[in-house]
Homo-oligomer: A and B are copies of this chain.
Amino acid sequence: MTGIKDVAERSGLSVATVSRALSGKGNVSPASRERARAAAAELGFVLSYHASSLASGRTHNVGLVVPSVHRWFYSAVIEGASAALLSAGYDLTLYNIGEDPQHRHSVFNDFLLRKRVDAVIAVSLELSEDEMQQLLAVHRPIVGIGGPLPGASTIRIDDSAIAQQATNHLIGLGHTKIAHMTGEEAYEQDFQLPGTRRGGFEKAMNDADCQVRPEWIVSADFTIEGAYAAARQLLGGAPERPTAVFAASDEMAIGTILAARDFGLRIPEDLSVIGIDGHDLGKVMGLTTIDQDAKGQGALAVRTLLGAINNGLVLEPADTEHPTKLVVRSSTAVPRNDAAQAGAAR
């Protein structure tokens, strides 16, 4: 294997100068810089990042901790972060916590402590006191995505506001009989997100003098499958059906649409559905949603961290609110007359 020594020899420079030339730090004459570069290129030399890390303490590696990979939001964040890191020459180490509590434990108690990462991005993780301590003990910048991380910076959307916006979109169309699909209580891996969105829904409903019916608040696990099952319950048996559903995620909105179709309900004539996310499938399904640009959030997290690393600043715990956008498609419409009347007769 060719090392920096070989490059030094070939270029007639010292190892120190070659190191400075290739890293761009310190003063090196343009001529030497060029000689070093040329020699490195000829030899096909690539820095050993281990040695470099050991000597400098900088790893050029960012850890990304996610609860799962296959759910849309996480995969989008991963893609956004990955692209940004790749461009910056950084590696991305993925820690997929998954369902296994053992995995979760070892990620926080071993993996992250191995001094392998320059920074950590934690996505939608409600961390225990202990876990947060472990994270902070690494003494690396941390950015959370998708919820508040006490003691760290976070990138998030205004869940309460967009929940109100989504609800108001339905109310604005004339709906009053609106159901809400929220996340399961147990699903508190995702911060208080379900609760916050539900709160926004209830506020909007109350503000508009619409009744919030407990039996029309159903919960699922944020997946299409789970929502499908829950929506069958909601739309199936009951004597009275809502005219619209606001789902706390696009995946759940899609599950709802699929279930509605099974009952022969037309979207949006018989049922309006709105979600939150900006899922790729939204276009195909004609889903009205609030796009939260998950990729952009991933990329922003990376920019924030790299900025902190490069400037050697400590990252002040601060919340950054990421913009969202209402995207109206064909899954929401004015309720049919009879339904609207039934609603008006409250």
A interface residues (Cβ-Cβ under 8 A, vs B):
1, 46-51, 53-54, 59, 61, 68-70, 72, 75-76, 78-79, 82-83, 86-87, 89, 91-96, 98, 100, 103, 106-107, 110-111, 113-116, 223-225, 228, 255, 258, 261, 280-281, 283-285
Q: In the docked arrangement, what's the CA distance between A79 and B103, Å? A: 12
Min distance, Cβ A345 to any Cβ of chain B, angstroms: 33
Are A49 and B103 touching (Cβ within 8 A)? no
Are A225 and B281 touching (Cβ within 8 A)? yes
CB-defined contacts of A82 to chain B, threshold 8 Å: 69, 94-96, 98
Q: In the docked arrangement, what's the CA distance between A317 and B47, Å? A: 29
Cβ-defined partner of A115 (8 Å) among B50, B107, B110, B115: B50
Cβ-defined partner of A50 (8 Å) among B59, B93, B110: B59
Cβ-defined partner of A78 (8 Å) among B94, B114, B225, B255: B94
Are B96 and A79 touching (Cβ within 8 A)? yes
Closest to A258 in B: B284
Closest to A77 in B: B69
Closest to A255 in B: B284
Min distance, Cβ A78 to any Cβ of chain B, angstroms: 5
Are A258 and B280 touching (Cβ within 8 A)? no
* Known A78-B96, A94-B78, A94-B94; contact A86-B103, beta-carbon cutoff 8 A: yes
Contacts A1-B115, A79-B96, A82-B95 supplied; 4 other A-B pairs, CB < 8 Å = A83-B100, A86-B106, A223-B280, A225-B280
CB-defined contacts of A69 to chain B, threshold 8 Å: 69, 75, 78-79, 82
A interface, over-half SS: helix
CB-defined contacts of A225 to chain B, threshold 8 Å: 280-281, 283-284
Min distance, Cβ A267 to any Cβ of chain B, angstroms: 11
Count the copies.
Answer: 2
List 21 A-B residue pairs with CB atoms under 8 Å apart, sorted by A's residue number.
A1-B115, A46-B110, A46-B113, A49-B115, A49-B116, A50-B54, A50-B59, A54-B54, A70-B72, A70-B79, A79-B96, A82-B95, A82-B96, A86-B95, A86-B106, A86-B111, A91-B93, A92-B93, A92-B95, A93-B93, A228-B284
Q: In the docked arrangement, what's the CA distance between A239 and B91, Å? A: 54
Are B96 and A83 touching (Cβ within 8 A)? yes
Closest to A285 in B: B258
Q: In the docked arrangement, what's the CA distance between A180 and B83, Å? A: 34
Q: In the docked arrangement, what's the CA distance between A96 and B77, Å? A: 12
Q: In the docked arrangement, what's the CA distance between A91 and B48, Å? A: 17
* Known A75-B69, A75-B75, A94-B94; contact A50-B48, beta-carbon cutoff 8 A: no
Min distance, Cβ A343 to any Cβ of chain B, angstroms: 27
Are A51 and B54 touching (Cβ within 8 A)? yes
Q: In the docked arrangement, what's the CA distance between A68 and B229, Å? A: 29
Min distance, Cβ A104 to any Cβ of chain B, angstroms: 10
Closest to A83 in B: B98
CB-defined contacts of A96 to chain B, threshold 8 Å: 78-79, 82-83, 86, 92
CB-defined contacts of A53 to chain B, threshold 8 Å: 50
